[in-house]
Amino acid sequence: ETGVTQTPRHLVMGMTNKKSLKCEQHLGHNAMYWYKQSAKKPLELMFVYSLEERVENNSVPSRFSPECPNSSHLFLHLHTLQPEDSALYLCASSQTGGGTDTQYFGPGTRLTVL
């Protein structure tokens, strides 16, 4: 595997389910990100981890819970979601998280909440 991988690619869940999204980067980067992409809206940064420490948390509801066990893996744990949480969830990584860093994105998980 190369680059940034995400699993699953598609997920359908009910509002009472608990599920997790997984992201893995094979680039040796130190920073990882979760974004939410909704139709016709700018990308929303949800969480940033640098060297496995959370450094940004942009007022995301507590029903989204991130976990970064090491610099290569990032999870997003989901529970009691709402239909408006349906979106494409993108994971990204960058070398250090600095302002001019290129971010490398995975293909995303298309989440549908029923």
Partner 1 sequence: GDSVTQMEGPVTLSEEAFLTINCTYTATGYPSLFWYVQYPGEGLQLLLKATKADDKGSNKGFEATYRKETTSFHLEKGSVQVSDSAVYFCALSDGGNYQLIWGAGTKLIIKP
Binding site for partner 1 (CB under 8 A): 4, 6, 31, 33, 40-43, 45, 48, 50, 55-56, 58, 90, 92, 97-100, 102-108
Min separation Cβ 69 and partner 1, Å: 19
Region of residue 4 (left: phi > 0; alpha: psi -120 to 50; beta: else): beta
Nearer to partner 1, 15 or 57 (CB): 57
The number of angstroms, rounded, from the C-alpha of 72 to the middle of its chain's C-alpha atoms is 13
Min separation Cβ 36 and partner 1, Å: 11
H-helix or E-strand spanning residue 89: strand 87-94
Q: How far apart are CA 99 and CA 24, in angstroms?
A: 22
Q: How far apart are CA 110 and CA 29, in angstroms?
A: 24
Nearer to partner 1, 18 or 96 (CB): 96
Nearer to partner 1, 21 or 50 (CB): 50
